[in-house]
Copies of this chain bind each other. A is one copy, B any other.
Amino acid sequence: MVRIRPLQPEDWPATWRIMEPVVRAGETLPFDPAMDAEGGHAVWVEAALQAFVAVAADGGVLGTYHIKPNGPTLAAHVCNCGYVVAATARRQGIGSLLFSHSQDQALALGFRAMQFNLVVSTNTAAVQAWQHNGMVVVGTLPGAFHHRRLGFVDAHVMYKILKSD
């Protein structure tokens, strides 16, 4: 059983352990590949409204997501989320579990829509997973992501209306 719960300070070492290789790779997240655990905490936890972890029955961290407003006051009804799934826990539906939790959380926090600003086009597994969860590619930014291995690649802006009344 996978459980999703708020990220506690004592979760950070295990959370960073699954994030670090993703950051180092520089293929999906825009952060400095040389970032350290403290820098990671600043962008993932301190800069967010809330952060969560998905934990296995044995307490191991399988994934994490954070949620924050995507812009200032007049754009603050749209949230932005980021997700990381441990390399050892891919293709088990953890990403969709995290997405579903984040969508419920977004609604509970009063957000009306969800926006991803920079979904790397070469990360086709992510693009497809988000589309499967109702996120729509509203536009593609030419060369907007500096992929560490492939150079400048396109990135998608994805969006989902959560509440339209």
Report the minimal beta-carbon distance from A159 to chain B, rounded to whole angstroms: 6
* A60 interface residue per 8 A CB criterion: no
Q: How far is the CA of A147 from the CA of B77 in the complex (A)?
A: 12
Please tell me if the beta carbons of B142 and A139 are within 8 angstroms of each other in the complex. no
Q: Contact: B112 with A138, CB < 8 Å?
A: no
CB pair B113 A142 closer than 8 Å: yes
Which residues in B have their C-beta under 8 angstroms from that of A161?
142-143
Stretch at the interface among A5-13, A28-36, A122-130: A28-36
Interface residues contributed by chain A, number (CB under 8 Å) = 38
A137: chain B residues within 8 A (beta carbon):
139
Q: Do A144 and B118 have beta carbons less than 8 Å apart?
A: no
Given contacts A138-B140, A159-B141, contact A146 B26 (CB under 8 A): no
Q: Does A43 contact B (CB under 8 A)?
A: yes
B113 & A72 in contact (Cβ 8 Å cutoff): no
Write the residues of chain A forming the contact surface with B, with a CB cutoff of 8 angstroms.
26, 29-33, 43, 71-78, 112-113, 115, 117-118, 137-148, 152, 155, 157, 159, 161, 164
User: What would be 24 A-B contacts, judged by CB atoms less than 8 Å apart?
Assistant: A30-B72, A31-B74, A32-B74, A71-B117, A74-B146, A74-B148, A75-B146, A77-B146, A77-B152, A78-B141, A78-B144, A113-B141, A113-B142, A113-B143, A113-B144, A115-B144, A138-B139, A138-B157, A139-B140, A141-B157, A141-B159, A142-B161, A143-B161, A157-B157
